[in-house]
């Protein structure tokens, strides 16, 4: 199966946001909630220390656990924020690159996925892929190097998207049987 895809900036941005959410959303939500827990524990600990400082040091334990939750939140907040900024820079660079190259060819063969755009040619054997995900009408293929390829239903149409997903599913099932 061979497809010629036209680059659309809006579709690309939505797909990159989807990839970001798949990677970081659970962790971001968990640490957002741990921030509130940390603040509550610190407040309870301070109140216990102020009201009754000699109750087995329980107030200090609350402050310690609250700070440990808060420190992990701060660490991941800055880590996720810096990753998002880098991702935004990459998105701008890719959009500028594709401004000159309007079309990309994808070919699904029995042995590999072949992508060509302008002067760039990429051949990836099916054995290099470790996982695939169908999420929000997008097919995401992940390689052993954690490089991802994403293809949306909006880019190829519903009928072709169903053909591609069933083809990829068969490829992964035969790969599992061979392993």
- Return the number of other C-beta atoms located less than 10 Å from residue 106's C-beta: 19
Whether residues 128 and 67 fall in one domain: no
Same domain membership, residue 64 and residue 96 = yes
Whether 35 has a pLDDT exceeding 70, the answer reads yes
Residues 120, 116: Cα–Cα separation, whole Å: 6
Question: Under a CB-based contact definition with an 8 Å cutoff, are residues 48 and 3 in contact?
Answer: no
Q: By mean pLDDT, which of 10-19, 47-56, 72-81, 102-111 is the weakest? A: 47-56
Q: Do both 118 and 156 map to the same domain?
A: yes
Domains of the chain: total: 2
Q: Are residues 79 and 122 in the same domain?
A: no
| DSSP letter, residue 136 | T
Nearest to 164 by CA among 146, 137, 144, 145: 137
Distances in whole angstroms, Cα of residue 136 to Cα of each of 52, 79, 127, 172: 54, 26, 25, 20
pLDDT digits (tens, 9 = 90+) for 119-174: 788 888 888 888 898 988 899 998 888 888 888 888 888 898 999 999 989 888 88
Domain termination site, one of 100, 133, 164: 100
Distance CA 143, CA 132 (A): 9
93 plus 14 within the same structural domain = yes
Q: Give domain status of residue 107, yes or no.
A: yes
CB 76 within 8 A of CB 28: yes
* Beta-strand relationship, 103-108 and 2-6: antiparallel
Tell me the pTM: 0.71
For residues 58 and 117, state if they share a domain: no
pLDDT band at 42 (very low <50, low <70, confident <90, very high): very high
Rounded distance, CA 55 to CA 45, Å? 11
Task: Indicate whether 3 belongs to any domain.
Answer: no
Neighbour-count burial of 134, counting CB atoms closer than 10 A to its CB (0-12 exposed, 13-18 middle, 19+ buried): middle
User: 163 lies in which domain range?
Assistant: 103-178
In a domain, 171, yes or no: yes
> 170 and 136 in one domain?
yes
Q: What tens digit of pLDDT does each residue of 54-107 get?
A: 667 788 888 999 998 888 888 888 888 888 888 888 888 877 777 677 788 888
Does one domain contain both 119 and 95? no
Q: What is the pLDDT of residue 179?
A: 63
Predicted pLDDT at 54: 67
Query: What's the pLDDT band for 43 if we cut at 50, 70, 90?
Result: very high
Does 132 map to a domain?
A: yes
The band of 40, judged by pLDDT with boundaries at 50, 70 and 90, is very high
Residues 31, 109 within the same domain: no
> Are residues 107 and 90 part of one domain?
no
161, 159, 142, 140: which is closest to 18 by C-alpha? 140
Which two three-digit tokens encode residue 45?
A: 């600990």
């Amino acid at each position: 199966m061979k497809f010629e895809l036209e680059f659309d900036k809006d579709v690309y941005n939505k797909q990159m946001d989807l990839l970001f959410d798949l990677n970081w959303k659970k962790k971001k939500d968990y640490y957002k909630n741990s921030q509130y827990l940390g603040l509550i524990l610190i407040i309870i600990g301070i109140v216990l220390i102020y009201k009754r400082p000699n109750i087995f040091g329980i107030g200090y334990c609350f402050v310690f656990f609250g700070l440990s939750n808060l420190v992990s939140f701060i660490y991941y907040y800055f880590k996720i924020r810096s990753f998002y900024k880098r991702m935004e820079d990459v998105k701008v660079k890719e959009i500028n690159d594709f401004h000159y190259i309007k079309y990309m060819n994808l070919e699904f063969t029995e042995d590999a996925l072949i992508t060509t755009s302008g002067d760039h040619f990429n051949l990836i054997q099916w054995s290099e892929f470790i996982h695939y995900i169908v999420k929000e009408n997008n097919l995401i293929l992940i390689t052993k190097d954690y490089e991802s390829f994403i293809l949306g239903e909006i880019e190829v149409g519903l009928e072709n998207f169903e053909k591609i997903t069933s083809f990829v599913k068969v490829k992964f099932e035969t790969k599992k049987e061979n392993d």
